[in-house]
Amino acid sequence: MGKGGFGVVHEGRRLEDGLKVALKYVTKTKNMECIFTPDHPAPLPKEIALTILANKGPHVPQIIRLLDWTDHPDHFVMVLECPSPCENLVEFIRRHGGSLDEDTARQIVWQVAHAANVCCLRGVLHRDVKLDNLLINRETSEVKLIDFGCGDILRRSPYRSYHGTVAYSPPEYHRRGKYYGRPATVWSLGIVMFALLCGHFPSDFDLFLLQYKRFCKPGMSKECCHLLRALLYEKPSRRLGLGQITSHNWFKAPNSVVASSEVPVKAQARASTKGHLNPEVSVMATWFEILQSSAKDTAVRIEVFSRKKHIE
């Protein structure tokens, strides 16, 4: 079913009842981290412990369940639920033409935000919320967050290493070498939402436009633009709280659509070139706005505009 640096995943059947399961074989390493959990006297491999903790409490369908696990000298095997028929969101987007409409994206984003928030409430930082780690049932549209291999115990102090996927990493980590768990999770949710709606990761210029309320895909609702901006603020302190996301107005349909005449010229230029920015129109319009702002605000905008963090 899948292969990576961790090992390999196979499809299987549970002997006692024939239940379809996923068997994840993880190779042990010398520096493999183990942690204690309340119900286990001996430390467990971190991925197993985090998956158990994330499922502690009332069942949340959006979080993958660990059914069992076995220990072996050079590897361990995780027996996980295997939703069917399903695919990850990369495949789902591709099958839907490269991007999703708002109604479809709304259903997905709510579930992902809910799963990520529950994990944090249970003391687990997933740290790799991305399209590849989100499975969607093709019949029910139920989404599941999988793979806690890059995760950690949620703590109040900052993290100084990032083990997730670079394209989803928060800007504060690249600038200051540290980040906090919840705001970083909010950022990764913003990247997921942007990719679902636009079919690509946000460029530096997309992020610049979002910061200053100038980004909007033609036909996108005002509430959708507002949520995207709230998730992808450069400053972690300005981002929407993780627990507040599912209460945002975007999830309260119907939403008002931005008329084409309201879409900024920069966004129209971007749309007309099928995803490729028209540098002359965009840059001229942007610098015109900058020159109109105060000296202090101009300095901030120039700093953001000149960032060199190209993530693909």
Which of 33-37, 88-92, 282-286 is predicted most confidently? 88-92
Has residue 118 got a pLDDT over 50? yes
The Cα 292–Cα 86 span in angstroms is 51
Residues of the chain with CATH 3.30.200.20: 2-81
Has residue 129 got a pLDDT over 50? yes
**Assigned token pair, 22:** 């996923």
Least confident stretch, 7-11, 159-163, 166-170, 174-178: 7-11
The pTM for the full model equals 0.80
pLDDT band at 6 (very low <50, low <70, confident <90, very high): low
Catalytic residues: 128
Least confident stretch, 97-101, 160-164, 291-295: 291-295
| 28 close to 13: Cβ distance less than 8 angstroms | no
CATH class of the domain comprising 2-81 = alpha beta
CATH class of the domain comprising 86-305 = mainly alpha
Closest CA relative to residue 204, chosen from 171, 180, 165, 246: 171
Residues of the chain with CATH 1.10.510.10: 86-305
Q: Is 88 exposed, middle or buried, given 0-12, 13-18 or 19+ CB atoms closer than 10 A?
A: middle
The Cα 17–Cα 15 span in angstroms is 6
pLDDT band at 218 (very low <50, low <70, confident <90, very high): confident
Binding residues for ATP, by number, are 24, 81
Tracing tokens 């129209």 back to the chain, one arrives at: 268
